[in-house]
Amino acid sequence: RKEVEQDPGPFNVPEGATVAFNCTYSNSASQSFFWYRQDCRKEPKLLMSVYSSGNEDGRFTAQLNRASQYISLLIRDSKLSDSATYLCVVNSPGGSYIPTFGRGTSLIVHP
- Please state the closest distance from residue 50 (CB atom) to other proteins, in A: 11
Rounded to whole angstroms, how far apart are CA atoms 56 and 60?
6
Rounded to whole angstroms, how far apart are CA atoms 72 and 86?
11
Q: Give the residue with the Cβ less far from other proteins, 69 or 76.
A: 69
Contact between 9 and other proteins by CB under 8 A: the answer reads no
Contact between 96 and other proteins by CB under 8 A: the answer reads yes
Residue in 42, 59, 66, 79 binding other proteins, rule: CB under 8 A: 42
Sign of CA dihedral 85, 91, 5, 61: negative
53: CB partners within 8 A, 6+ apart: none
Site track for other proteins across 71-90, x = CB under 8 A? ----------------x-x-
**Cis link prior to 111 (omega < 30° from 0)?**
no
Residues in contact with other proteins by CB under 8 A are: 31-32, 34, 41-46, 49, 87, 89, 91, 93-104
